[in-house]
Structure 1
Amino acid sequence: MTTQPRFTDLDRPAALIAALPAVLGFVPVHSLVLVTLDRGDIGPVLRVDLSAALTAGTEHFAAVVASSCPDAAIAVIVDENMPDCSACASDHLDLADRLAESLDGHAITLLAALVVDRVTPGGRWRCADGCGAGGVIDDPESSPLAAAAVLEGRRLYGRREELEQVVDIVDLDHCDRLAEQIARHATGDPTPAAEAVRLALRMAAQVGAGTDPDDAEVAVLACALTDPRVRDTLYALAVGERAAEAEALWTRLARLLPQPWRTEALVLVAFSAYVRGDGPLAGISLEAALKCQATHRMAGMLDQALQSGMHPRQIRELALTGYRTAAQLGVQLPPRRAFGQRAR
């Protein structure tokens, strides 16, 4: 699920469908996408794969939708095998009917169910109930939300798998070598929290400048991430002037570290992405973190917040704890930045 800024073309299906890649962060294929509405404006957007299990039971999906308390919703079924005639799409109509019934149980009105073959230039849409409406979608790259995403520095991906690769482990052999190095370091005295935070700041600057982190330093920082004081302080970097450098380091660590240390890097990526309004990357990172450690407290909290459509400004308030902890440790963090400006 992700939340997005104001969108004004809710009454134009061609424009709404074209905006989905910018909302989700990738081009959806073979998916059910549900756009929720809150007082007439776009709210959290959810996507799941089309499957027989989904058609048979939409209750769980509707319950997740209801967590953000929307007034209504619009369903978009993305199916490359969309039949040539609307009357032939009985599966789509059945899914829409089941979804409408499940949403109604939560006092959410399904305003429309649309079917589109592909969310790319030339994609064609129509209503799922055979009302006769349909046509060609707008160009997704020309969507106002796509332009806004580019201005915010977000990258849009052609497939969900490309987004997942942002935090996937890149080199299993390197990961195994790091596991041995981390295990050796963990047998010694723990690194003082203040020293670990300063190390993270130096490493972030190096990665931001295009330099790969040193394995020995990676091992030190990985062990230090198990210290709550270090973790709490590092979350604060997401709202600082060097947030982009910090996120680059967390992303690099997520692709390098073995378990269980990788989980902490994934949650740092998720927090940083969420703070700047990148729901897709936050969601992918949290999904990976919870697969690694289902009971991770921060991951679970952020996932619940994202699922319920909590605004990034509310998440930013959590970073204040990091600044207080840094002050207690005697570490000076980069100044907080005014949001609406790109982090350096």
Structure 2
Amino acid sequence: MTPPAAPPSPSAEVRLDELGELIAGLPGLLGFPPVDSLVVVTFTTTPDRCWLGPTVRVDLPEPGGRPDLVEQLCGAFAQNQVVAATPVIVGGGGADPPRLPHRGLMRLLTHELSAMGIRLVHSAWVPTIEHGATWWCYEDGECTGQVHDPRSSALAAVAALDGTVTYGSRAEMVDLLSPDQEDRVAHRAQLLSALTGAPLREGELHQEMLATIDAFTAQDNQPELDDERIVRLTVALGHGRVRDTCLTLSITDRASAAERLWTVLTRAVPAPERAEPAFLLALCAYLRGSAVLAGMSLEVALDADPSHPLASLLRDALDRGTPPAEVRRMVAASVEQAQSRRRPEG
């Protein structure tokens, strides 16, 4: 299951006049065009208006797996106070409208949504998310329309404004985290081993980490890091004070710069050390709404270090559909507790 993606920034008001525009915006919301998927766009409310809520994508299940999947989805919706939803099935077989594929899955989901008091705005099937593709409604066989241009959809524009990159496929996102060339990573592992027990001062490592993140602030001018600096930054992440600072950065206006550095280090660092930047990348990605990238980064982190405690906690939070705002509060509380433990008494 792709964890819930956070909605576009509340400061950006998006008006969706028809389903073709909403479907066209799904790649921007998820970060890639879904294929053979169930996607559920949700809505929440405030006293004065209705907001676009979390968007969830799952692979289409086998018939026997439908009940468990729907239960998991509804649990995420309950966590996020969803009041309305639009489920869309993308692909998963051909159709002879109004006979649409996966009707049993859609029937089960809409029944459970109704039982939770969540209003069904629409339910649709579309073969692919491309400009001009025809979508069909499950509820009304005569209700149909065309997908708008995904490249110019309102949701894609808002996602881009928030810093979300839309990839051509999920595989392209996976490539983002692929390790550097094997010999380069092996060389850094040797350098790390040589630094074991070396007298590196935490204060100096802390300052180098902050300076490097500052250098990543300009999106169009990413600095090149040599192997020695990559290794020092990796060592720095092993120090408690530096880890606390890096956690804090995820909830500040320097989060984007930090995320770019964590991406570089996730590719550059050998296991098990790469678990730390991969976890930090997952945290930054989830807090800004890219749940897909967050999930992939957590897979890397837990593969490198299955016992990484914070990565395991974040994985559980994503699986439960915990709202990013709640994760943000958890991060702030965790950093405060860690700093209090290290604060000298007196």
- 8 A Cα contact 1:167 1:285, kept in partner: yes
Deviations 1:204-261 (A, max 9, x none): 4556644421212222322331222211112333455654443222111001112111
Q: Which residue of 2 aligns with 1:13?
A: 19
Range moving further from structure 2, 137-146 or 172-181: 172-181
How many angstroms does 1:64 deviate by? Answer: 3.4
Q: Which residue identity does 1:197 align to in structure 2? A: H
AA aligned to 2:5 is T
1:69 aligned to which of 81, 90, 95: 81
8 Å Cα contact 2:22/2:155 also seen in 1: no
Partner of 1:308: 321
Equivalent residue, structure 1, for 2:198: 189
CA RMSD of aligned residues (A): 3.2
Give the partner amino acid of 2:155. Answer: L
The SS at the match of 1:86 is: coil
- What is the letter of the counterpart of residue 31 of structure 1? S
CA deviation vs aligned residue, 1:273-296 (integer Å, no higher than 9, x gap): 344444443343234324444543
Shift of residue 86, structure 1, vs aligned partner: 2.0
Partner of 1:281: 293
Question: What's 1:260 paired with?
Answer: 272
User: 1:167 & 1:9 partners in 2: Cα distance?
Assistant: 34
Query: Partner of 1:213: helix, strand, or coil?
Result: coil
- 28-37 vs 294-303, greater mean Cα deviation: 294-303
- Summarize the Cα distance change of 1:270–1:20 in structure 2 as closer, same or farther, 3 Å threshold: same
Structure 2: distance between partners of 1:205 and 1:10: 38
Structure 2 contact 44–52 (Cα < 8 Å) conserved: yes
Cα deviation, residue 11, structure 1 = 6.2
My pick for the range that moved more, 130-139 or 297-306, is 297-306
Alpha carbons of structure 1 residues 128 and 289: separation in structure 2 relative to 1, 3 Å: farther
CA distance in 1, matches of 2:211, 2:127: 48
How many Å separate the matches in 1 of 2:263 and 2:68?
A: 36
Match of 1:4 in 2: 7
SS in 2 for 1:115: strand
| Long gaps (5+) in structure 2 | none
* Aligned equivalents of 1:233, 1:269: Cα separation in 2: 14
Alignment deviations for residues 27-54 of structure 1 (CA, whole Å, 9 cap, x no partner): 1111111112223432111101123154
The alpha carbon displacement at 1:73 in A equals 2.0
Is the contact between residue 203 and residue 213 of structure 1 (CA under 8 Å) also seen in structure 2? no
Within-5 A mapping of 1:208-247: 209-238=221-250, 242-247=254-259
What TM-score, normalized by structure 1, do the two folds share? 0.81
Q: Match of 1:264, SS? A: helix
Matches within 5 A, 1:10-49: 12-39=18-45, 40-49=50-59
Unpaired stretches in structure 1, ≥5 consecutive residues: 330-344
- Residue 131 of structure 2 aligns with an amino acid whose one-letter code is P
Q: Which amino acid aligns with 1:169?
A: P
- 1:63, 1:106 within 8 Å by CA — same for their partners in 2? no
| 2-structure distance, mates of 1:109, 1:241 | 36
Asked if structure 2 preserves the Cα contact closer than 8 Å seen for 1:275 and 1:316, the reply is no
What are the within-5 Å matches in structure 2 for residues 109-148 of structure 1?
Answer: 109-129=119-139, 131-148=141-158
Question: 2: CA distance between counterparts of 1:46 and 1:64?
Answer: 9
Of stretches 302-311 and 153-162 in structure 1, the one that deviates more from structure 2 is 302-311
Structure 1 residues 275 and 70: alpha-carbon distance in aligned structure 2, compared to 1, 3 A threshold: closer
Q: Is the 8 A contact 1:86 1:129 kept in 2?
A: no
Q: Distance in 1 between matches of 2:68 and 2:287?
A: 33
Q: Percent identity?
A: 33
Cα deviation, residue 155, structure 1: 1.8
- Residue 162 of structure 1 aligns to which amino acid in structure 2? E
**TM-score scaled by length of structure 2:** 0.80
